[in-house]
Structure 1
Amino acid sequence: MSANPQIVPLFATPLVIFDVPDAAALNRELRAAIERREKDQASTRKSNIGGWQSSLDMDRWGGAPAIKLLSYARNVANRMTTDNEGRTGNGPYPGYFAVTWLGSMWANVNRSGHRNEFHSHPGAFWSGVYYVDDGGIGADPSLGGELEFMDPRGPLPVMNAPHLRMSGGLTAGATEKVQPKAGRMVIFPAWLVHQVRPYHGTAERISIAFNLAV
């Protein structure tokens, strides 16, 4: 037996975190567009418990800043997607393949006590969220409002021995949380079940969610 056993993480689930360049200026424009829309449009009701959620066409009503944000998401998706031969997305030269992303996006405003229940995004390949305003969570994690992902295997890893974990898998059978930060984009497989935990701050937690389908 080897003195140093090797752990190979099979079937890993990708989670992409990307800090958008010049986010402060972009966020000012995005916030202004979202505030105008919230005054004119009633909230949709999907996974959100409280809060305001726009229609799924922010790329139409959000103007140039929304289009710019969606282009960032598409570019990151290109870099994070390969075909079965390992070639990276979008390029007319050898080593690349062509893919067209069909994007949809919507805005979310959560105030104190608001949250989103566990859900997934059927019909998409990648899904993601961008934080326009983290509502102070970046400076004070006790305010909640985290993005929480469920282990896609459900409780299976802890069914036999709930008090034990396999090396390298302390959250197996449970959840992982990502803390919001203004200017940060998080991209994940659309099938990955997730929720937004209750926000306990006194400001506004403003985010933009999006789907990318092929």
Structure 2
Amino acid sequence: MQTAIPTIENISTWTTPIFVANNPDHEFLKNELLNFISQAQKQQQSTIDSQIAVDAKHRLFESELTFLEHAHPEVMELRRIFEELVAEVAYDVNRDAWPQDVEVEANVTESWYHITQSGGYHDVHSHPNCSWCGIYYLEPGNASLDGKNGINRFYDPRVNAAHFTDAGTAYLGNQGYWDFAPIEGQMIIFPSYLKHSALPYFGDQDRIVIAFNCVVDIF
């Protein structure tokens, strides 16, 4: 009598999607955005104008959380790009959960710039009150994956994934984090619950990013 071979079904659950995209209009927008941010920095009332998690930030300037609300042509265009990108991302991950033929609308609810000077960093955090977040590398400066200089690090949300490791857990990865190489003109979109940080940055040129939070509606 032959022994029956059981059927095994692989069900992948609780994945965390992260999306990366390049801004095709980066070179067209970059200088105007840098000039606008430079002027805004000179008008800041404090180094951290948002007044949020001040102690988690060192040697960096942060705007108020309304940066993409400015009626400036390049800023408005950047907001449009971000919202269209998040709408695409939301549709991609939710298509099986949404009704067919829905219209998707993503809206930036908070946005800000970071100007990180040499020696600056942003400690571990996540973003509440939104579903998707983004980071745009306007000017990475001297940040690089080699040496972990000024990179963004994303942390494994499976809090107990590393409580035991052997050959059978190799698929989990063994470091508990994922490092993202900062590339000029690149955007990274990630779910708001995902904890992340900006590791210490050292360089002769400031590291400048624009970050944002989004909510999504369907019609």
Q: TM-score, normalised by structure 2?
A: 0.82
2:23 pairs with 1:20: yes
**Mapping 1:86-165, distance limit 5 Å:** 86-87=97-98, 95-137=101-143, 141-142=146-147, 144-154=149-159, 156-161=160-165, 164=167
- Alignment-derived partner of residue 67 in structure 2: 58
Q: Whole-Å Cα distance in 1 between the matches of residues 71 and 42 of structure 2?
A: 14
- Alignment-derived partner of residue 31 in structure 1: 34
Change (3 A) 1:157 1:95: same
In the alignment of these two chains, the number of paired residues is: 203
Q: Whole-Å Cα distance in 2 between the matches of residues 17 and 98 of structure 1?
A: 20
Q: TM-score, normalised by structure 1?
A: 0.84
SS of 1:79's equivalent? Answer: helix
Q: CA RMSD in A?
A: 2.5
Shift of 1:68: 1.2
SS of 2:37's equivalent? Answer: helix
2:13 maps to a residue whose letter is L
Q: Whole-Å Cα distance in 1 between the matches of residues 147 and 71 of structure 2?
A: 31
Greater share of strand residues, 1 or 2? Answer: 2
Q: Does the 8 Å contact 1:33/1:62 carry over to 2?
A: no
Give the alignment partner of residue 212 of structure 1, picking from 208, 211, 214. 214
Q: Deviations over 1:182-210 (max 9, x none)?
A: 10011100111100000011211000010
Q: Whole-Å Cα distance in 2 between the matches of residues 205 and 143 of structure 1?
A: 14
- Alignment-derived partner of residue 43 in structure 1: 47
1:152 maps to a residue whose letter is P
Q: Deviations over 1:48-83 (max 9, x none)?
A: 222111111112337221221121111111111135
Give the alignment partner of residue 187 of structure 2, picking from 185, 198, 202. 185
- Structure 1 stretch 144-153 or stretch 67-76: which is displaced more? 67-76
Change (3 A) 1:100 1:208: closer
Change (3 A) 1:144 1:112: same
Which structure is larger by alpha-carbon Rg, 1 or 2? 2
Shift of 1:21: 0.7
Q: Whole-Å Cα distance in 2 between the matches of residues 182 and 144 of structure 1?
A: 15
Shift of 1:7: 6.2
Any runs of at least 4 consecutive aligned residues in structure 1 with deviations exceeding 6 A, and if so which?
none
Q: Does the 8 Å contact 2:148/2:199 carry over to 1?
A: no
Gap regions ≥5 residues in structure 1: 89-93
Q: Does the 8 Å contact 1:136/1:143 carry over to 2?
A: no
Shift of 1:102: 4.0
